[in-house]
Structures are given as structure tokens and as C-alpha cells.
Structure 1
């Protein structure tokens, strides 16, 4: 196995992991909350280094990222494990899998970059399960990827520590972070985590120069009140900026949360309209296909800039990063390839 980064050795062969904000103390022979960082004789190992459970060429819009290399594909990789225990997890079959029973195959960082280039992708995404716990592998692959001119994407719950995120910063281009709710109670009861570290990591990602987009899965009865959503939107505008794309996605019952119905489209539309009224430039709806609120509009003149249907996109009103109609500069990262 591959020795981990971001940890300290302690007495009696214990270790203290500093990769995510659980900051697990791990005794010999045990693993952290994530299930994949294991202490063997006082050394912490990244047990899933180079081991993948999923590999695909996805539209970048599927992440979802709407302002980072729009219209391109992203070479996407996942493994197993997670540092959250979300009751509504849609990828629970890999996030809750264990090393003994999971069906994993080996892929070196070099081969991953070669496959990304060979498939014509503009970026590599670490996704499907939580990439924070894949730190060493993503760091090695991402460093190689950037040298080859590829973009790099984390699809993350945002529970990474400051020191770990700073280590990734030279290679990480886009930080697509879940803001699962805007209450500590939700994070504790539904995810087994805390809210503030997620907010802190989003602010730091912005400060480190990463492209940032947020996703909130709107769950009826848990985080769908207009008061909570308005508070979240205001926080994003104040701390991340009004140009931050925010995706508000429809929930569907899954895993351990089958006790409530899916999100009404009308609820999402109200949140979208509130976001626009508060001054957010780029709100979007998710999991609601063929809706006009998937499109990108100029925040100055209202012209349609990028038209979307599902995961396909068509730029119809952009000249580079400017609105063709009024000349407004649009907060989008385009791919030159």
C-alpha cells in the first residue's frame, strides 16, 4: 500500500490524520471514518491509492460544472469510501463499500492521464465517491494532468482541511462543492459532520484561485424552507461572490431516505427566482431536465449565453468570455483546445 500524506505519528503506534476535518485519531490496526486510511504498525496508508471502482467519460455538465470548460468532456474516476455517512447518498454502493468486498481495479496516475488525453477529454474529475480521501492519488495524477494541459476537478463534500487543500492548490483547477444545507443540525443528523468546515473550505478554495461552483440538493422537509435557502444564498454572495454558480437540484428517494417524496419543480423555481432577486448572477436548477433555468443568461442584459438540454450544452451568445449582445464579461473558464 501507499503511505499516506497529511498525518502525524503519535505514541503507542497511534496516528492523527489531518486530511479531513474529522481529524481522526487512528490506533494501530484501525482505519479512519472514511474506511480507507489504515494504520499499520504506526504508519498511515492510503489503501485505495491507484484503485478505482468507476471510470467514465462524462460531459462536464454532469458534475455539474456549467462555467468550467463548458461543452467539453471530463475523464471521471471514482473509488470507494467516504468521510460522510449521508442517509440519502445516491452512490452508496461505492461510498459504503469496504476494501474486502469491493470490486476494484488498478490504474496508475500515468495511465489515467494517458487515458484522459487519448479520450479527447479537456479535464480529469475525481468524483462518484469523496475525492478528499483519495488525496495522494489525485495529487499525483493531477500534477501530471496539469503538465499535459488538462483541467482538474474535485466533486467534493468540502470537508477537506486547510492544510490538505493548500497542498492540492497547485494542481486543482475546479472545486465543485456540495452545500448540503445551511444548518448544523442537518449536517450532524444527516451527514455525520459539521457545517462550518465546509463553508471554510469553500472560502479557501476561492482564495486559492480555484473555479468554484456549489450544489444543494433540496430535500422536502429537511432543507427546503425559503428562509434557509435565502440565508445560504446570501452567504454565498457575501463570502464567495455573486458570480458563483449555484445549482439547486431535485431530490429523489434513495438509500436510507425513502420516507419522503421528490422535490417539486415549483419549489426549485422559487429558490431560483429568490436567488436572482438577491443578486446571484448564475443560479441553476438540477435534476430537472429541459428546463429553461438550466441555461446561462447574461446578468447584465438577460441574453441567453449557453443553452442546455440535460447534459448537452450549446454556446449561442458568447464571444470568448463576453456576452455577444452587450459585451459584459461572463464568469466562465473556457477551454482553448
Structure 2
């Protein structure tokens, strides 16, 4: 029987499944294998989805299931989209309970994101209907590959949608395991002609600028006012690092698109100003936003009633929430997927390669509520070892866990003892551009302290996820002697110097050319932070430490990954120590 939910149109035989593995045959009907199989259910701010022009700052209940109909290289939701499918069983909350939770949490709506509602179509349709009955807004983030008939069933029930576009060409979609791009653009037109609020996000891969430009041209043909989000590609999973554009490259592309489209935004780029909503008439910033984790943003300031004196009509739909919802720890948006990947990073070092075992442990974390403890313990160097031992026990790998802990502790103790009686230079830790400062309590700044530096980030009182934009005056007052750029969602050192020159940022570190970039996942997200610690110690105290970083990395990789270190094959994945 042919599946009529998505445009792939799988022919599903009795006892078999389609490409997404989420549907089966029951009599003469296509049914969900795991209806109401919710994996997460968390209150979030709508900009986390991200949706920027619908009820700004509104509190929504985020839900997701598991699975996806696409197979994209470097997927940010790879864990939920594919790896959990092997371990997840049916169960959890009914749609009535989801509605009840949304109301109890004082949410104004529900959003299905992280994985695609296409793989839970009947569940989502029923949830949407019940949300409407309870005066809750309902929407989703989707790749848009619905069969036309299925989308027409859904449109009367939903209020907003973010359509994630992989590119304009058929080739981009074939690389994701589907037929062509045409169904997505057909559906985008259908959605735009309805009463549904539509925003578009599209991936920007280095060397594929035409894919973004041609997508923008199509969006312009529908309406120049559709919010257009560029997702700077970050090579998770097995994707190679050579296809990651810099933040500056992405901003140049944004400028080109802004010649036609009114609202163009840039994500995955800490410190960029291209998350702000700017009045198309006078250029005044109406909504000021900052980076808020992968694929997310957060409104930090806005003009009264969300408009300037130009009174641009239809800038956004709905009303601005007076209270901004605070999302604790890893809770909310794609930060959850990074938390699961942090667990994966430890398990890989312990020798766990089986997806079923990985899924079993991830489910244990979600069911036992360990995620909050993971967030706290993983930021502190000493309690990180407790995290390793926790997962070593769950995986029945206690011996391997102790080997990893002993190796890391030996290096940590050596460095701590070496800097015990030394002077401590002022050190600033950025992510992306120089004016995005990591939260002071994060592990990166604890690495600085352990390596004999004074973390000036700890002077910053505000907090974000994973940090905040700071002013030029704050930067100058801290006057760091060293600057380190995070190995996650980073920017080239050369771009950092150019940014400092362009914005007149003055500090001892800039004058003495003491800005350094960390290798991916050598300071956060993986036990490889022990290598980052040695690197930082070398830079801060070259009179004390002279670690051969390449040799130390090779030793670590061979011992805990089973292969040699190759700097040319790194990526941003926490668990993936090498791209294929």
C-alpha cells in the first residue's frame, strides 16, 4: 500500500515499514507504529523554534517524537531523527495530557519541532485539533515534504510553520534521500496562500551560495516580507569541516539577500547582529536578539509595541509577551540534542558503538530526569568525572570508565600543581565573534582557571545560553591579556582580529596578538576537553608547560577512539572525533 503522508510515497508491504520507519499497514490503512510517542515536552520561548514574527517572546510547549523521512548529512537532530528509532518503544502521554500540560504551564500554544511532524502525522493532526478546541496556538517546524493532500488536511488546523529548506536544486534533496525539491516549493506556496503564518529557514553550506540565493528568489516571488532565516551550516555527524562557512561569509550573503527580502536573519553565529529585526524604512532596530544555542535566538530588547515611528504594517502577527520565559539548562530547543550528544561522546570513549545501547541510555536519562544534573556536573572539571562514572555504570563499562577518568585526572592534577604559585593572566572566552561572551560558570572558563588564568568572564553578571552579547565598554574594562575562541560554533582567529579592528575593540590580547582558537570539541561537549586544557596551559604559561599537543592528541585518540588523530578530518560533532 502506498503511503500518502509524505511526497516520497513509500510502498509499504505487510510487516514492513517505509523510509521513515514510522508507519505500517493495519488492515487497509496506514497507521503510526508509535502514536503519541513523545520524547520531549518542555516550555520554550518561540524564538527558540525559531519563529520570530509570530507572538514574539511567547511561551510555547515544545514537543517532539522521534524519526524523520529525510537522511541529511550533518543533521543537528541526528540523534532524535535516526538513532533513537532503534530503541524507542510506544508509551508516554496522550494528546489530552499534552494539552493539559500546556495549560498548566501557562503556555499560549504548542510547537512540534526537533523532528518532523510528517513522521507523526495522525498524532500531530489530532493534537492540533485539540489545541484549537482549547484556544491554544499550534504550529511546527518541518522540512515541508508533505504530500499535497496531507498538507491540505493540516492547514486549517495550524497557526504557524517554519519550513526548513535544504536548497533549491533537486541535487540537494537527492542527497537527503528524497526525489526532488519541487514538493517543498509547491507546499510553501500553498502555505503562503493560506492563513498560516510562514517563516522559511534554509541551510547555507560553503560553496553552495546559489542554493540559498535561488531559494530566496522563489520566496521573493511569493512575498518579500516572509521572514527568511539563514542557518549557517555546522558540520555535525559525519559532515566534513571544509563545508562550514564563516560567520563573516554568511553575513555577506545576508547583505546580498536583503536587497530584495525585507527580513533576513542569520543563525548559528554567536555575536552577529543579523538576528535583529530592523525597520525597512528608517533602519532602526525594533527587536534586538542574541544567539541562544544551535538554531535558536532570544529577544533581549524591543521598541514599545514592537514598532518605530514608521509604523510598518504587519511586522509581526499577534502580541508581544511581557514576560520572557527562562529555559533552564539543556531544556528547550536544539540544546537538548547537544546534551544527548555529550552523553554519546562519553560512551564512544568507553567503547559503546551500538545504537540500541545508546538509545537505551538516552531514554534512561530522559526518564530519570538526570539531564539537569548532567548540565550542572558537566561544567565543573571534578564533577565531570562523576558523570563519566555514572554512564560507565549504566553501560556496564566501569573498567573503561576508570581508565578514562584516571587518564584525565593525571593531566589535570599535573597542570593544577604546576600553576599553584604562578601569576594569573586575565583571560576572556568568546564564542563566534569577540563580543559574545561565554557564561562564567561554563567548563571553558573553568579550564582557564585550572590552567592558571583568571577568567574575566566570571565578572559578567548576565547569563544566556551559552552566553551573552557584551558591549565594547565591558570588553575594554575587562582588558584581557589572552582571548580564546570556543571550539564550538567558532570563527577564524583572523576574522576575530578583523572584527576587533573594525569595531575599535582595544585590549592587551589584541595588541599582543594573543587570540587563539580551540579545536572542535576540545573545550566543551566531549572528554577531549583534557586536550584543550593542555593547549590553554601551553599558551598561558609557556615557561612551565610544553605539551606536544599533536602527540598528546594522538595518544588520546588511539587509546579512546581506536584511530590516530588527523587534524584535517575534524568536525563539530561532540562524539564524532573524525569525519568520514
Do both share a fold (TM > 0.5)?
yes
Instruction: Decide which structure has greater helix share.
Output: 2
Shift of 1:41: 4.5
Instruction: Decide which structure has greater strand share.
Output: 1
Shift of 1:178: 0.8
Given the two structures, how large is their TM-score scaled by the length of structure 1?
0.88
Residues 307 and 315 of structure 1 are in contact (CA less than 8 Å); yes or no, is this contact kept in structure 2? yes
Residues 29 and 40 of structure 1 are in contact (CA less than 8 Å); yes or no, is this contact kept in structure 2? no
CA distance in 1, matches of 2:211, 2:203: 13
Matches within 5 A, 1:265-284: 265-277=247-259, 279-284=260-265
Show the counterpart of 2:213.
Answer: 230
Out of 88, 101, 107, the position equivalent to 1:102 is: 88
Matches within 5 A, 1:107-118: 107-118=93-104
Describe the shift of the 1:290–1:334 C-alpha distance in structure 2 as closer, same or farther (beyond 3 A).
farther
Out of 225, 240, 264, the position equivalent to 1:258 is: 240
Shift of 1:252: 1.4
Q: For 1:95-128, what per-residue CA distance to the aligned partner results, in whole angstroms no more than 9, with x for missing partners?
A: 1146551266411111101111111222211111
Shift of 1:314: 4.2
Shift of 1:253: 1.4
Out of 295, 298, 301, the position equivalent to 2:282 is: 301
Q: For 1:224-262, what per-residue CA distance to the aligned partner results, in whole angstroms no more than 9, with x for missing partners?
A: x2x3332221111112x0110011122211123135353
CA distance in 2, matches of 1:168, 1:162: 10
CA distance in 2, matches of 1:65, 1:191: 27
Describe the shift of the 1:139–1:336 C-alpha distance in structure 2 as closer, same or farther (beyond 3 A).
farther
Out of 16, 21, 25, the position equivalent to 2:2 is: 16
Q: For 1:290-311, what per-residue CA distance to the aligned partner results, in whole angstroms no more than 9, with x for missing partners?
A: 3211010111222211111223
In the alignment of these two chains, the number of paired residues is 316
Describe the shift of the 1:86–1:162 C-alpha distance in structure 2 as closer, same or farther (beyond 3 A).
same
Out of 283, 286, 291, the position equivalent to 2:272 is: 291
CA distance in 2, matches of 1:58, 1:22: 32
Q: For 1:68-106, what per-residue CA distance to the aligned partner results, in whole angstroms no more than 9, with x for missing partners?
A: 111112211111111111112111112114655126641
Higher-Rg structure is: 2
Out of 123, 137, 141, the position equivalent to 2:109 is: 123
Q: Stretches of 4+ moved more than 3 A in 1?
A: 40-43, 97-100, 190-193
RMSD of aligned residue pairs (Cα, Å): 1.9
CA distance in 2, matches of 1:120, 1:177: 26
Residues 92 and 255 of structure 1 are in contact (CA less than 8 Å); yes or no, is this contact kept in structure 2? yes
Deviates more, 1:163-172 or 1:37-46: 37-46
CA distance in 2, matches of 1:41, 1:104: 20
CA distance in 2, matches of 1:77, 1:244: 25
Show the counterpart of 1:329.
Answer: 313
Show the counterpart of 1:177.
Answer: 163
The alignment partner of 2:274 has SS state of helix
Show the counterpart of 1:45.
Answer: 31
- Asked whether 1:189 is paired with 2:170, we answer no
Structure 2 residue runs without a partner (length 5+): 292-296, 322-580
Residues 203 and 212 of structure 2 are in contact (CA less than 8 Å); yes or no, is this contact kept in structure 1? no
- Asked whether 1:247 is paired with 2:245, we answer no
CA distance in 2, matches of 1:253, 1:207: 34
CA distance in 2, matches of 1:230, 1:165: 26
Show the counterpart of 2:532.
Answer: none
